[in-house]
């Protein structure tokens, strides 16, 4: 397979993350052609040129449509704010490009549906940036559950908390606009939803409460602006197989930096995981003498592939960007026609459907079944 030509739209936090992944995927995995970093787009020409030089791209533009029209671009990474995902991803697919789009698909469900429709029509690979499912530890947890290591799973609790909106004096910016989505649910809680999907399948029913810790935020130019979405949410869920679940998400939780706390309870044991300690999990198995039963801490190691592609020794630890490199390799697998562990637009739309059902439940104050 010839080297893939890469286009990158957006160079913020996730844009740089994608650039690091495209730069490193050959070095880490070795079994792929080194991607050609062809074209980078940013909001203005000066910034685009600077970022292209930093990230290693051949060309730069302030017009993302020019990037999409570039015949040397085979794959487009879309890492812009949520409200731009649909237009850019659809344009790229219609131009015959594969798409790697950051989550969520789009604030409006109709736009997400359109993204899937165009992806199907294009025949191209279209995936979403849910890199937490790529953690070798998460893959091993999935294997343990499949092997029955904790028996039949009956209850799950998952919490996602960060504190980037915890300070009431943080300036109002696009993440508090209704045009960006519901807030904690779709900007944020889609990550734990991706883990639930990966481990157990999609959510079947929900009932939700959402709150605004702060009614308004200061503006840079003075005055204040009302917060338009919700920074915290609590959701009761039913999954397939009679599994009950609880989801709690909070973007205003002081002290929490990148927490996804996952507790899985089964008939023969439990599994506990926390994203802030992403290179370990705890396993409890109700076997042997009660006097020696207890949670065992298991550290990430070469046995948890593809950890071994990064580090030859256990306990040294992978990071957030490493998971993105793994996700990049899985995307290349999919483009090559190989089996791949990815969140396609198909599965991503079902995650989006769950989020919109949660918001509907909040407004209608009732359980919502998800078809």
Chain centroid to CA 149: how far? 27
51 occurs within a structural domain: yes
Question: Could you list the residue range(s) of the whole structural domain that residue 267 is in?
Answer: 133-314+342-369
Within this chain, do residues 91 and 151 fall inside the same structural domain, yes or no? no
The last residue of a domain, from among 124, 141, 175: 124
Within this chain, do residues 150 and 58 fall inside the same structural domain, yes or no? no
The last residue of a domain, from among 76, 100, 124: 124
333 occurs within a structural domain: no
Within this chain, do residues 114 and 143 fall inside the same structural domain, yes or no? no
Beta bridge partners of 270: 265, 284
The reported pLDDT for the residue numbered 1 is 67
Within this chain, do residues 207 and 351 fall inside the same structural domain, yes or no? yes
The reported pLDDT for the residue numbered 180 is 85
Length of the chain equals 371
Within this chain, do residues 110 and 205 fall inside the same structural domain, yes or no? no
Q: How far is CA 198 from CA 82, 182, 347, in A?
A: 22, 23, 10
User: The domain spanning residue 297 has which CATH number?
Assistant: 3.30.360.10
User: In which residue are the tokens 């993350």 written?
Assistant: 17
Q: pLDDT tens digit string along 281-312? A: 999 999 999 999 999 999 999 999 999 999 99
The last residue of a domain, from among 101, 124, 147: 124
Instruction: State the pLDDT confidence band at 54, using cuts at 50, 70 and 90.
Output: very high
Q: Is the pLDDT higher at 137 or at 241?
A: 137
The reported pLDDT for the residue numbered 179 is 86
The reported pLDDT for the residue numbered 207 is 98
Question: What torsion, rounded to 10 degrees, do the Cα atoms 76, 77, 81, 86 define?
Answer: 40
What is the mean pLDDT of the segment spanning 207-232? 97
The verdict on pTM exceeding 0.85 is: yes
The reported pLDDT for the residue numbered 77 is 98
What is the mean pLDDT of the segment spanning 153-164? 97
The reported pLDDT for the residue numbered 371 is 79
The reported pLDDT for the residue numbered 188 is 86
Within this chain, do residues 167 and 85 fall inside the same structural domain, yes or no? no
The reported pLDDT for the residue numbered 12 is 96
What is the mean pLDDT of the segment spanning 10-23? 98
Residues 52 and 23: their CA atoms lie apart, in Å, by 13
User: The domain spanning residue 65 has which CATH number?
Assistant: 3.40.50.720
Residues 321 and 305: their CA atoms lie apart, in Å, by 16
Residues 175 and 178: their CA atoms lie apart, in Å, by 8
Question: What torsion, rounded to 10 degrees, do the Cα atoms 110, 113, 114, 117 define?
Answer: -160
* Pairing of the two strands 216-218 and 244-250: unpaired
Within this chain, do residues 166 and 244 fall inside the same structural domain, yes or no? yes
Chain centroid to CA 9: how far? 17
- For the chain, what is the domain count? 2
Within this chain, do residues 149 and 95 fall inside the same structural domain, yes or no? no
Residues 94 and 103: their CA atoms lie apart, in Å, by 20
331 occurs within a structural domain: no
The reported pLDDT for the residue numbered 338 is 96
Within this chain, do residues 165 and 105 fall inside the same structural domain, yes or no? no
């Amino acid at each position: 397979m010839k080297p893939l030509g890469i286009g990158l739209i957006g160079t913020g936090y996730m844009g740089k993350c994608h650039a690091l992944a495209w730069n490193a995927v050959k070095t880490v995995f070795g079994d792929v052609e080194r991607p050609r970093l062809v074209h980078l787009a940013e909001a203005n020409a000066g910034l685009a040129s600077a970022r292209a030089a930093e990230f290693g791209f051949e060309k730069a533009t302030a017009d993302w449509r020019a990037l999409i029209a570039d015949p040397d671009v085979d794959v487009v990474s879309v890492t812009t704010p949520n409200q731009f995902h649909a237009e850019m991803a659809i344009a790229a697919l219609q131009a015959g490009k594969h798409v790697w789009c950051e989550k969520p698909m789009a604030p409006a469900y109709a736009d997400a549906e359109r993204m899937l429709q165009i992806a199907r029509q294009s025949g191209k690979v279209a995936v979403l940036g849910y890199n937490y499912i790529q953690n070798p530890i998460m893959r091993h947890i999935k294997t343990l559950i499949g092997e029955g290591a904790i028996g039949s799973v009956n209850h799950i609790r998952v919490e996602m908390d960060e504190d980037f909106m915890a300070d009431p004096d943080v300036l109002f910016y696009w993440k508090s606009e209704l045009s960006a989505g519901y807030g904690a649910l779709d900007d944020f809680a889609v990550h734990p939803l991706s883990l639930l999907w990966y481990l157990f399948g999609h959510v079947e029913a929900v009932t939700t409460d959402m709150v605004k810790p702060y009614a308004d935020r200061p503006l840079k130019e003075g005055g204040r602006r009302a917060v338009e979405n919700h920074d915290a949410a609590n959701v009761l869920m039913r999954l397939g197989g009679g599994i009950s679940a609880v989801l709690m998400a909070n973007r205003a939780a002081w002290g929490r930096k990148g927490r996804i706390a996952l507790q899985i309870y089964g008939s023969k044991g439990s599994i506990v995981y926390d994203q802030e300690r992403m290179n370990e999990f705890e396993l409890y198995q109700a076997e042997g003498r009660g006097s020696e039963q207890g949670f065992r801490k298991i550290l990430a190691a070469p046995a948890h592939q593809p950890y071994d592609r990064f580090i030859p020794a256990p306990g040294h630890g992978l990071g957030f960007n490493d998971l993105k490199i793994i996700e990049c390799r899985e995307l290349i697998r999919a483009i090559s026609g190989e089996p791949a562990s990815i969140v396609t637009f198909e599965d991503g739309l079902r995650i989006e459907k769950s989020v919109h059902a949660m918001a509907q439940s909040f407004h209608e104050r009732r359980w919502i079944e998800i078809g």
